[in-house]
Structure 1
Amino acid sequence: MKSSETASPHERPKTGAVDYDSELQLHDKAFRRACGVHARERVLDIGCGSGQTTRDAARAASAGSAVGIDISAPAIARARELAAAQDVRNVRFEQGDAQAHPLPRQGFDVAISRFGTMFFADLLAAFRNIRGALADNGRLVMMVWQAREANEWSTAIHGHCAQSSAAFSLADPSTVERILDAAGFADATFQDVREPVYYGDSVEAALDWIGQFQATREALRSLDAASAERERARIREIVERHRRDGGVWFDSRAWIVRAHCRRTP
């Protein structure tokens, strides 16, 4: 996806339908800087979605390459379309689950992920597979959500509704350090990122975006008609309170986690 250089939520973002890339537009600058992709590096992008971060990496790796992997076939199809439309040639996309996908051994110099590593069924197995795909001097850079209570987009919108804990599975630094150490990584560091997420340029756009969330759909389906209508009214009121100059914004907290590969014996 094409990264926004927007530096403030009061600067006008791109208009139109909201998507995941525009939602995270203020996170991208910090993430790209943290990745620090070099010209000749081979990059693996985990959970690449429609490929914005992969294309950004490919552009930085002008004499190298980037591979994006995602479990969603529609997302991979869209990523390929956008790469072709933007004439990014040193990039390719594969559909698969990085936990078990047959990645080439030591085929990459850096693995990156923007909110794509929290949802593995077996986190340790996934990071071991990723480590095996990295050169011995390779590195990992990923962005993950901090705890649910630090993320207004979850607490305000979903309230007391059940929220999948998977989105916050890598929120605790000690847990992340333990998993990465067992997977063959070392020297993990955690950079605090506090940027709001963008939900659209109007209340209606935000409500449409929120309505696409699995947690929202499941919560509404669990209610009777009258209760569902009250829940929709509650969400609308919250969205209206978060409408400010430039769009609808909710606070969020994330970690940028960096780690290096521990050399194999």
Structure 2
Amino acid sequence: MPRIVNTHQAEAWNGYEGEHWAAHRDRYDAVNSGFNDAVLDAAAIGERDRVLDIGCGNGQLTRLAARRAPLGRALGVDLSAPMLATARALAAAEQVPNVTFEQDDAQVRAFPAGDFDVAVSRFGVMFFADPVAAFGNIGRALRPGGRLAFVCMTALDGTDLGQVLDAMAARLPRPTGPDGTGPTSFADPDRVRAVLGAAGFEETRCERVTAVQHWGRDVPDAAAFLGGWGPVAHHMAQAGPEAAARARRALTEALAAFATPEGVRTRGTAWLVTARRPAAATD
């Protein structure tokens, strides 16, 4: 059994949250896949590279990384058994032979030292119980000079998603918490640089990137999907039926502003973070 220290997140990702992401993997990939190329291009994956995907979820980024390293390999690590089952099934169906998925806590997993050339993540690094310890452990898994590339959420204020979520604010708390906590815990680039520096990385850079995010084929479809997202669904359940109904109406009205003939689309923002393990690193 893997050693898990991030028990709160493990409970969520092996309960409703992870089950919802696994059941709607196409929907979540439609929201987040616009950032794939930014991460993979920044990672500069070579054909023989050994790639670690942190918080891999349903494994789309891991499989794409493996394809960029046909003579290497990719390992996806996540807390969520439901999503890892989906990731393995998709890798088999897509015939990606050089990818594996394992349930574990990347903060404490005993990775062999220097076993990877590059580590990547798509919105999977914001929830560590101790981010300095987690990135220190990931850094030790990289060879000296190894690369790190990931995307994380920016602050929600002033973004399309922030506008949608804030429409429910009179009825529900913001489901992501205040900016700087939860999913936006890495929203401040200064904090990102401080955490990675303390974890032993160097040359940390943060670049704001954007991508189109697809939420549904029409407004009712998008509202039903976003309303089922774990944090939103949790707050609606806590609010009671009347407040939840008002929040759903507000959500639907807010999403209408982003309706297009191709579906409901928002402009997503993220920090693209790159860093490097020192070339002279020793364990």
TM over 0.5: yes
State which of 202, 205, 216 in structure 2 corresponds to 1:189: 205
Q: In the alignment, what sits opposite 1:214?
A: 230
Residue identity in the other structure for 2:128: F
Q: CA deviation at 1:177?
A: 0.8
State which of 85, 93, 102 in structure 1 corresponds to 2:93: 85
Q: In the alignment, what sits opposite 1:58?
A: 66
Q: In the alignment, what sits opposite 1:37?
A: 45
State which of 106, 119, 122 in structure 2 corresponds to 1:98: 106
State which of 188, 194, 198 in structure 1 corresponds to 2:214: 198
Residue identity in the other structure for 2:60: Q
1:176 and 1:105 map into 2 onto residues whose CA distance is 23
Q: In the alignment, what sits opposite 1:169?
A: 185
Q: In the alignment, what sits opposite 2:56?
A: 48
State which of 121, 136, 154 in structure 2 corresponds to 1:146: 154
Q: In the alignment, what sits opposite 1:9?
A: none
CA RMSD between the two structures? 1.7
Does the CA-based 8 Å contact 2:39-2:121 persist in structure 1?
Answer: no
Instruction: Give the TM-score normalised by the residue count of structure 1.
Output: 0.89
1:18 and 1:95 map into 2 onto residues whose CA distance is 21
State which of 108, 116, 122 in structure 2 corresponds to 1:114: 122
Does the CA-based 8 Å contact 1:158-1:215 persist in structure 2?
Answer: no
Q: In the alignment, what sits opposite 1:264?
A: 281
Q: CA deviation at 1:17?
A: 8.2
1:226 and 1:137 map into 2 onto residues whose CA distance is 56
Does the CA-based 8 Å contact 1:53-1:114 persist in structure 2?
Answer: yes
Secondary structure of 1:37 counterpart: coil
Residue identity in the other structure for 1:73: A
Does the CA-based 8 Å contact 2:57-2:80 persist in structure 1?
Answer: yes
Cα–Cα, structure 1 residues 176 and 17, in superposed 2: closer, same or farther, change >3 Å? Answer: closer
Cα–Cα, structure 1 residues 150 and 65, in superposed 2: closer, same or farther, change >3 Å? Answer: farther
Secondary structure of 1:120 counterpart: coil
2:158 and 2:204 map into 1 onto residues whose CA distance is 21
Q: CA deviation at 1:18?
A: 5.0
Secondary structure of 2:222 counterpart: helix
Does the CA-based 8 Å contact 2:146-2:276 persist in structure 1?
Answer: yes
Matched, 1:70 2:87: no
Matched, 1:235 2:243: no
Cα–Cα, structure 1 residues 241 and 17, in superposed 2: closer, same or farther, change >3 Å? Answer: farther
Instruction: Give the TM-score normalised by the residue count of structure 2.
Output: 0.84
- Please say which of residues 233-242 and 103-112 is displaced more in the overlay: 233-242
Does the CA-based 8 Å contact 1:196-1:251 persist in structure 2?
Answer: yes
Residue identity in the other structure for 2:165: I
Runs of 4+ in 1 over 6 A off after TM superposition: none
Q: In the alignment, what sits opposite 1:28?
A: 36
State which of 197, 202, 226 in structure 1 corresponds to 2:242: 226
Residue identity in the other structure for 1:173: P
Aligned length: 250
Name the structure where helix makes up a greater proportion of residues. Answer: 2
Structure 1 unaligned blocks of 5 or more? 1-15
Residue identity in the other structure for 2:231: A
Residue identity in the other structure for 1:181: G
Does the CA-based 8 Å contact 2:164-2:255 persist in structure 1?
Answer: no
1:94 and 1:150 map into 2 onto residues whose CA distance is 37
Q: CA deviation at 1:158?
A: 4.5
Any idea what the Cα deviations from partners look like across 1:52-78, whole Å, max 9, x if unmatched?
111111110011110000110011111
Secondary structure of 1:92 counterpart: strand
